Every structure is written in C-alpha cells, then in structure tokens.
Structure 1
C-alpha cells in the first residue's frame, strides 16, 4: 500500500490532482465495496489516528514556514482564523438548514467542520505555485491556526446536552487559544535553545528530537486545557526558523513523516466511508459546498481582510484557495463518536463535499493565479545552508549549496566579505573538490564548506544569505546583511576639461543617509 501511495504522488504531480484524492481512492478500493472487501467502521480509532496524523502534518508545515514571509501576514491570518471562521460557519450553516433542510444542530456541525482549511492540502499546493509572499503567508498561517477554534466549535456542537451560549463559546475559544499559544511558544524557544547549545552524538538524532519537541508541545497544550494544535504549529515554526543544526535533514525527516501521516490518514478515511451510502447525500453535499465556496468563503475573506487594504486580486485568490482535505473529514468523526443524531449523514456530506470541491479547486488554483497576474518568480533563489556543531572545537561547519538563480553566481570568495572568524575552506564543483583562493569565482551548483567560530556563526549565515539574494553588492544597494538596511549614497562625478587620466570622484552624502 505504501509503494502504491508513493507511486500515486508521482501521478498526482503530473496530472495536477491533489494526492489526497488518490489516497482516499486507495482506501475505498480496499473497503467493503471495493476489491479488498475490508469491513471497517471504527470511527473512534479513525479520530485518534487522524488527530495524531494532524499533529505530524502541522509540525511539518510549521518547520517549513518562513518567519519573514509569515510575519507581515500574521494579523490578517489571525482575523481569518477567528472572525472569518465565525462568518463562514454562520453562512454555511444557514445554507445547510434552509436549502438542504438539515436541523440546526446538524447544520452548525457541518458549517464548523468545513470551515477549517486543511493544512496538508494548503502546504502541498501553495509551495508548488509561485505566489506573492503575503498571499502564501496568510494562507499558510490561516491553515495552521484555524484548526484550533474549529475543533472547539465542533466539540461544543456535538455534545449531547444543549449548546452553550455564544459568549461562553467565544470565551472558551479565546482562553484555549491563549493557553495553546503560550505553551507552543515556550516549548519552541526552550527546545530551540537546547538543540543549539547541546551537541548530540549523532546527526540522525536531531530530526527525532525536533519531532519529539513538536509532539511535546501538543501534549503540553492539551494537558493545560489549551489548543494543542496551535501549540504544535507555533513550536514547530520557532524550531524551523531557529537555524538549528542539520536543519535540511530535520525538514526532510518531518516531510517524510508527514507523507506517511497523510497516507495512513486518507486511506483510513477511505476505509471508513461506505460508497453506496454516498449516493443519497451527493446533491446536498454539492449544494452546501457551493454555498461554502461561492458565498461563505468570499464573505469570510472580505470581512476579515477589510482593515488590511489587500488588493481584490489577492482576496479573490485567497477565497478560491480555501482548500479542504482530511481535516474536515476527521472532524466529522467527532459527532459520530458522540452518537449525535444524523452523524453518519454529516460524515457522508462532508466526505463528498471535500472530494468534489478538491477536484475543482486544487487543479484550477495555478490557472487562477496566472489569470489574476499574481505570479512571484522574480526573486533570487535562497541558499540551502546546513549546520553541524563542532562542540569540542567551539565552531560550526556550514554546508552551503548555490542553487539555480542565486546571485552568488559570479561572486569571488573575497567578495563574500565574511566576518572575521569564518572562512570558505572547501568548494565542490562537478564532483571534484578543491581549496579556494580569494579570487576563486563561485558558480551555480557549487557546494561550499564554511568554517565559523561560535560568536560569528549567525552573522556568517546572514552574510551568505544576503549575498545569495543581493550579489556582491549586498549591504550597499538596499540588500541588508541581516543587521540593518543600507542605502546607497548619491555620487556626483566632475570631469574638469583640463584634466586627463582618472576621473576625480566627489561623494556627496544626503542628510540622514547611512554610508
């Protein structure tokens, strides 16, 4: 099954179909209506495994989230994840009640379940589409944040007794989010500090430790009666931006675990559904999905982003990019476990809605981005920098790869202007290694080995990344080296008619301009 799922990723990447649909298809094929004839109806086990998989997926997404992209988008993402969820739940529930005829409790559960954008779907699709950093940052942060309030709402609506008053729900959501955020930040900073200052005996232990810290954040947040999902996402984001040793290996390990989590979760959900029971709920699911996609999600984006003055093109793309995936289907198991009346129909409607609208939205998202002229392919490629601590020597080895499109291409080693205490000691080019000189010109595809002492390790990486983005003049033409933004001074050239030879240069510095 794993081999088939891995092959399905290749098919997905070539066809443009989201991989989750192929995994669901594998589960359905193994189920009681498929060739496997496996009878499975344990909603409680599916929910437990789904929660565990979601923790891993959120951890992988947090590790891959860049703080510099998400920081400007954080206020908008927070509003989308709170006020926006409320708007989406209300409109979707009203459509389910008045257009489909569901009872209000069932309609509210469906509205809450499908209002959560799926982290796995958003992370996998957006990182293949070159979008402006603000759009990507808002969507990624929203998908990481909105699981927390949605889970609280679904649990509240799925209780056997009466639903709490709205102000009680709002207070509960605010308290759990605050606790989860505090726990996540604390665990993330403590874990990052420990991994940066304690050299482990084997490099393979770092990825395991990173994932263990992420799971600890979820556990601590849940035990403190806070949002464990928000805690794991924030802790992982801190770890992913902390320049930990063997950072690429950490992300690669998390990505592998994320794939396994997605495969297991989607296949299990495919096993849980009974295809012949979906026929009667197909059109209700299409109607509710139409309300969600064409009315609720655009209104959610419009109301939430009104104070931020985001262009309508970006708002249109965010409206269409509210992708649903396994998370709504997992949340639909909560009323099944609580034995709420009509819970099986709720699950079937959510399942059909996710499949149909993922088929529509996922493949058309790149086309819409191009139609709205929201491509972002002009930026220079970032460097891949991997660090290994040398505890006894009080230094670090930085392995730097020069990717295609990096502006480090054509720069001499001396022009890197690395801080004192660091040096390029080895260059690997076309399979051969050599010790570079000051005049060695770096090329695309080179791999550099840089040695840096503890005090200048961070400054060295900042400088390397600055050169990768701004070339040899990084730090002079508005491309900062990680410490401050440097702007050029204006220079006036004077060529007296009676002077030959070199041109005298008289620099003139404007008031308030840094040299």
Structure 2
C-alpha cells in the first residue's frame, strides 16, 4: 500500500478516495501503534532509553524499509502535522511551568533563547561548512535547525530529575521560547531570495516575538479570567476550554504575523498559574494530549525517513553534532549565563541538557517543502544527529546531575483541586496529602485556616468522616475544604505552607521553610 495525501494507491496503480473500509483499517493501525507506544514508555523508563527513539523506531518499522512497507514521502503533510503536534506539546509544557520557578531566571532564559541561539547557529554552521564541506546556505539551515532545544524532550526528561528550580525553570523556559526565533531563521534561510541584512532579520525576529508575547499574555489572561468567573456545568468542559484557549492563542499570534509558538506557550503558562477550577483534571487531559502529539509526531517522522539512505550521512552528523554539543552549546551557555552569575555547576548541566528531539527534524522539512537544493541531505544529517546525541545525552543527565551535586530535596507538594460553588460564592477544595508531606501528624486545628474556610470531610482508607479539631491528619488522606471566595487563595496558601513546613509553618514564613531547590 502506498500512502499519499488524499488517496490510497493500490498495487494496480489506480487511485481511489478514502472509504469507510480504509477508515477502519486506519483506526486499527493507529490504535495498535498507540498501544505499542504506551507499552514502550514503560520499557523505555526501565531501560533508560528515551521514548522518542522508541516512537521513531515504530515509524521506521512501519515504513518502506521495515515490516509495514508503508511508502510515505509527503514532507509538507509531515510539516503541517508536526506544527500541530508542537502546538499541543508547547501548550502542555506551558501549563506545567511554574511561574515561581521561571520568574527569577526569566532574563537568563530569554538570553539563551535569543543570543544563545545566535551563537549556536554561528558556531554550528561554521563547523558544517568548514569541517563537512556543506554550502553556506545548507550549513546555516542546519545550524538554525539544531540550535533549538526540543520542548517535548526537555519537559519529559527534566521533570523526572530532581534539579534545582533555577535550572529546571531556565531550561523549560528556553525550550518554550527558542522555537520562535529558530523557525523564523529557518524560513529566512530557506527562502528563494537572498537573506536580508542581519539587522533587518533581527528586527523581524524581535517584532514577531513581541507580537506573539503580547497576544499570548492577553489571551491567557482573558481566558483565565473567564474560567474563574463562569462556572461550567460539567467538570470535563474545563480541560477542553483551557486547551482551546491555548490553541486560539497560537492561531491569533500566527495570523497577526507574530510568533504563534511563543503565544501558545505564554498563554498556557498564564493559564497554568491562574489556579483554575478542576486543575488536576485539566493537567491530566493536557498531558494525555501531549503524549498523543509526541507519539504521532515521532511515528510520522520515522515513516518519512528512509534508513537505507542514512549511511552516507552518519559521519557528517557526528561531526556537526560534536561541534554543537561540545563547542556551540557550552559557549552559548557561558556567554548568556555568566553575566547573571549562574554557578559553573549549573552552567555545565545546562550545557549538556540542550536536548534535541522532534522539533529539529520537523524544522528540517521546511527546506524540503521550499525545494532548497540538498534539503534531503540536510534532513538525513539532522535525523542521524538527533538520534545519536539523544542516546548519549538523555540517559547521562541524571548521572551528571549527581556528579555535580545538583539535587532538589524538598517536601512533596499538595495536590489541590478546586471546584466553584457559584450560588454559594465559595469553593470546594480537594486536598490530597502525599507521601513526603509535612502535613502528616498535624491536627486539623493546627492548620489554622483563615476565617471562612474549614475542613468539612476527611477520606481515609476508603472511609469518610467529619473530622474533629483534634483529628490527626495522615499521609494518603484526602481533605474536603470549603472556603468562601474572599479567602480561597489564602486558604490554599496556608494548606501548601503546612504541607511544606508542618505545624511550624507560621513561624517559618508563609511558604514554609526555605529550601534550596
């Protein structure tokens, strides 16, 4: 079977439009691929093999050189689907980004996403031209493509490693910010005409970033305000509304000739820090969509690549990847972070944590769609580079963090879900006490919730009961707290403070004991 856009070509060479029978086949194949990919996550977590490589392997196995014998070569369709998947991944990443972690390191992250990308593009392109022999146009395209850290890889890997908040916040913000300037650079280098003066290109990048940032923040703020003041009739509507607002930010930013990628990330970050109702359900929904986007994107990229054509591109990919990993990335980190007095241990880890994934491969389809000479070679080099250096960098990050003694030892945070009680002008907070929380052993009276908030029910070992002031809370308990609208935020802050600092949180500050994260 030959898969092309809009039709299925049979062995006789005739083309027939898609029918219900073809839909049934497609649904069966997609469901099997998803199940295999879900099982592969478990295998990759045990073996340390990055899951994105497993997904790429599934696509290759289904492709023309594999068992599936599916011939797929539509770079334009891959680019469109890849963009859509990247929007979902950035939305999921923005929803999980904590503003308290990003705010102190925001200038440094912005420097990495702008000046750091410029340094990385220059060094990598020079290596591709002088060491590999690529023409300057191809070298600049490769330099721009691989200079973007992959949001999916960073979000999935870093959140499994207990790192200081400054490191995690900087890397997550950088991966969310740097897609925008890199896309602009790749499109400019792939255009038919000559590249404009550098200052014109820089001005265009800054203008698009400014438009995207303004639209993203505005859409996110308006969406959060609306969701907090309008009680929807079903809790399942909140996740759908949040994702729709985030995607609308991307579309609005792109249609306004701004950076849609920056818009969706900032809008999602605003929504993620707005304390919306039914937040755990929204996070779970967004995480599921993010997984589907990653699986679909990597499998499609695996289908697009032809493994039998990669042999001649292994050495150039290794040389360019070595220049990127050993020279370009560390140099950009040192140049951008030294003025902010970031310790050398954190700079070392961030130099090694410049993870690449599907984003560079998707960006490598842009010159293919534009018909740039040698674009197939660029795509193959980028594909090999991503696979090899993901195998090297991803599994070694935890080991490097331990060697650099960069760890975060902090009490487990509470999971608090809020449901609005519109007619009562109040909120019902569902508070889960996790295993590491210092709320264990605290009496209900010692919570000292503000007036207008009270613990109304405790669920313990499947049994619910109304607590007394002397009831001692335990790990695994779930509390139902009713709070009036004016004290809702104060009640949540107090609960989190007790979760971090225990019954002495009042003497240790509003947020409990201060720990180095």
TM range (shorter): over 0.9
The alpha carbon displacement at 1:347 in A equals 0.2
Check conservation: 2:355, 2:390, Cα contact below 8 A. Answer: yes
Check conservation: 1:44, 1:333, Cα contact below 8 A. Answer: yes
Residue in structure 1 matched with residue 168 of structure 2 by the alignment: 136
How many angstroms apart in 1 are the aligned matches of 2:381 and 2:132? Answer: 11
Residue in structure 1 matched with residue 302 of structure 2 by the alignment: 270
How many angstroms apart in 2 are the aligned matches of 1:224 and 1:460? Answer: 41
> What is the aligned counterpart of 2:274 among 238, 242, 257?
242
How many angstroms apart in 1 are the aligned matches of 2:286 and 2:105? Answer: 24
Residue in structure 2 matched with residue 189 of structure 1 by the alignment: 221
Secondary structure in 2 aligned to 1:425?
A: strand
Residue in structure 2 matched with residue 460 of structure 1 by the alignment: 491
How many angstroms apart in 2 are the aligned matches of 1:80 and 1:94? Answer: 20
Q: For the aligned residues, what is the CA RMSD?
A: 1.0
> What is the aligned counterpart of 1:36 among 50, 64, 68?
68
Secondary structure in 1 aligned to 2:271?
A: helix
Check conservation: 1:77, 1:141, Cα contact below 8 A. Answer: yes
> What is the aligned counterpart of 2:417 among 386, 389, 393?
386
In structure 1, list runs of 5 or more residues that go unmatched: 486-515
How many angstroms apart in 2 are the aligned matches of 1:257 and 1:270? Answer: 20
The alpha carbon displacement at 1:73 in A equals 1.1
Q: Deviations over 1:184-231 (max 9, x none)?
A: 000000000000000001000000000000000000100110000000
Residue in structure 1 matched with residue 55 of structure 2 by the alignment: 23
1:192-271, aligned counterparts within 5 Å? 192-271=224-303
Check conservation: 2:401, 2:407, Cα contact below 8 A. Answer: yes
How many angstroms apart in 1 are the aligned matches of 2:326 and 2:237? Answer: 47
1:324-339, aligned counterparts within 5 Å? 324-339=356-371
How many angstroms apart in 1 are the aligned matches of 2:273 and 2:442? Answer: 27
Q: Deviations over 1:224-250 (max 9, x none)?
A: 100000000000011011000000100
Is the alpha carbon distance of 1:163 and 1:195 closer, same or farther for their aligned partners in structure 2, counting shifts above 3 Å? Answer: same
Q: Deviations over 1:434-487 (max 9, x none)?
A: 1000011111111000011111111111111111111112131234479xx9xx
How many angstroms apart in 1 are the aligned matches of 2:65 and 2:325? Answer: 30
Residue in structure 2 matched with residue 366 of structure 1 by the alignment: 398
Check conservation: 1:470, 1:479, Cα contact below 8 A. Answer: no
Residue in structure 2 matched with residue 478 of structure 1 by the alignment: 509
Tell me the TM-score normalized by structure 1: 0.93
The structure carrying a bigger helix percent of its residues is 2
How many angstroms apart in 2 are the aligned matches of 1:415 and 1:123? Answer: 37
Q: Deviations over 1:297-355 (max 9, x none)?
A: 00010001121111111100000000000000000000000000000000000000000
Secondary structure in 1 aligned to 2:507?
A: coil
In structure 2, list runs of 5 or more residues that go unmatched: 1-32
Check conservation: 2:145, 2:363, Cα contact below 8 A. Answer: yes
Secondary structure in 2 aligned to 1:44?
A: helix
How many angstroms apart in 2 are the aligned matches of 1:453 and 1:230? Answer: 36
Secondary structure in 2 aligned to 1:412?
A: coil
Is the alpha carbon distance of 1:128 and 1:480 closer, same or farther for their aligned partners in structure 2, counting shifts above 3 Å? Answer: closer
Secondary structure in 2 aligned to 1:73?
A: helix
How many angstroms apart in 2 are the aligned matches of 1:430 and 1:202? Answer: 27
Residue in structure 1 matched with residue 443 of structure 2 by the alignment: 412
> What is the aligned counterpart of 2:318 among 277, 286, 307?
286
Residue 426 of structure 2 corresponds to residue 395 of structure 1: yes
Residue range with higher mean Cα deviation, 287-296 or 391-400: 391-400
Q: Deviations over 1:156-195 (max 9, x none)?
A: 0000110111001100000000000000000000000000
How many angstroms apart in 2 are the aligned matches of 1:374 and 1:480? Answer: 22
Is the alpha carbon distance of 1:269 and 1:300 closer, same or farther for their aligned partners in structure 2, counting shifts above 3 Å? Answer: same
How many angstroms apart in 2 are the aligned matches of 1:291 and 1:25? Answer: 26
The alpha carbon displacement at 1:94 in A equals 0.2
Residue 42 of structure 2 corresponds to residue 3 of structure 1: no
Check conservation: 2:56, 2:301, Cα contact below 8 A. Answer: yes
Task: Give the length in aligned residue pairs.
Answer: 482
How many angstroms apart in 2 are the aligned matches of 1:387 and 1:200? Answer: 13
Secondary structure in 2 aligned to 1:474?
A: helix
Secondary structure in 1 aligned to 2:274?
A: coil
Check conservation: 2:501, 2:512, Cα contact below 8 A. Answer: no
Residue in structure 2 matched with residue 311 of structure 1 by the alignment: 343
